[in-house]
Structure 1
Amino acid sequence: MNLKQLINFKQLRCFHAVAREGGFTMAARALSVGQPSITTHIKSLEDSNGVELFSRHGHIVELTDIGCSLLAITKRIFSLEKEAAELLDAASGLKIGNLKISAIGPFQVTEMILAFGQKFPDVELSVSFGNSQEVLDGLFDFTGDVAVLARVKDDHRLFSIPYGDYQVVILAGNDHPWGQRKEINIEELDGQRMIFREVGSATRRVFEKKLEESGVSIRRVLEIGSREAMIQAVARGIGIGIALEEEISMDKRLKSIKVTNADITLHSQVVCLQERRNSPLIKAFLSVVKDLIAIR
């Protein structure tokens, strides 16, 4: 490509939409245009640069190697475009905009959302949930602006604010031998049938580390992909589970049991990319978080 040739941003936007949505039809719907328009822009982008950005197999569309590399760039381009819009909006008092928040659980992020909404009522908030690894990946993938998750290892790419500490407790069904207990010692977990969240779960990571330090060996009977599914499995007597104390609902089928002789604590943080910490919406959200911490 002639370096003097201007990049056609309509073509890049169409490419980005197809890559992110996983197909031409979904991309057209996301951009509110006709599918032929998407197809034309993609073909023009490929032909003018002599590259193939997608492999087509019937209705299945997959990125080629060069397509993957271009997607990494367009993620940054459209993230900066969003930041530019936020900057201009900030000059008039953050009256519009969208902030994408991802968190490991609703209880941690709810008070932040309420406080931010009161201060900036016209800013749209999008909230998603996942385990700590999924939430962190969203920051690097530019699908999330701010993350609320367990403490992460030092990483120069990230800016973080410590937020809160949460106790990990044992969950048992009412019919379990521990169904009427309020406390146990960690040694009593030895040999117990346990249900775990997936490997990316910070709660699991903290708990397993404490088991290892204490020389306790449990029986892993089930690994399950969501907090809600784990709670159902515990309630049905498949095994015992773990959760943060604040996550436990008023489910009468479950008993929350504290581990008295071991400190099993999850430390949470509010995190964003270092390069984006001064983005107007992100900066405003972090300011609200700091205010919440200050009044505790």
Structure 2
Amino acid sequence: MVATDTQGYVYVLVSPNCDSLKIGGSDYPPFKRLKEINHSEPYKHWGKWELADFRQVRNWRKVKRSLHYAFRSRLNTRLPHQKELFRISLKEASDAFHAVDEDEIIGKPKVDRMFYDAPFRDYLQQLFVFAGLTHWLAYQGAWTFVLFPATEGGRYFTLNIGPHEVAFATLNRKSRPTEHMILTDCLILDFDEVAVWLAAHGGKTVAAHYQTAWPRAVCVHFVGDFATAAEFLHLPGVRRALIAYWHDALFDLKDRDKTSVYARFHHYNAVAKLNEYIAQNP
């Protein structure tokens, strides 16, 4: 897809210190824009603002105008020097975002495909919650999630933290079952149950071959469907080893204010939809 100068994001923000919602738009991800809003005039006076919903769209100025027009009679005119605060409920705002023209939404076919495949969707739900990525939504770009990337052989998804992969699943073929890879800390090698399970599922552990990986990184490979992959997540020691690597790497990127080289491929709409699903299905 060729980027245009109007491709970007529309978002809705909420604050406990304001009785109105902010509907805005930006060329760059709302998590970055949110930091600016909380530290700049005039909106910082009614913060701290938090992100409630957003969409990545082909023409954010057009979509923002249509949202503002839809709620024009609800504009909060009591608060000075602003034109983006509306006296509406979060449900009204979310309903409006769900009603945005589908042709404007970036990557919608891939998001739909993810949700049509229930076992795949449910595995991603467990992986995101299990690994704690739901607590790192503000740092999307340091970690990246790509749906159905155009890699050799094809994949369902790829997750990166910084410059290298930390998880992927290959597409299921008649001649080759789905292969899963999850990168963890080497403390996973301390758990005999994991070794036994991997032996029964065509699996293995190998030192990470990524040059940018930390020295303690171990790649875990196995084959099976997504129910099998979910079973792996719940083995003793897996969560501890996964979090030990993923969170340390994320804290390091946060401290250095670094983003992944794959940030431009990150699928924001897929993460937003998945996070919404997680909130509705705890």
Q: TM-score, normalised by structure 1?
A: 0.25
Greater radius of gyration (CA): 1
Q: TM-score, normalised by structure 2?
A: 0.26
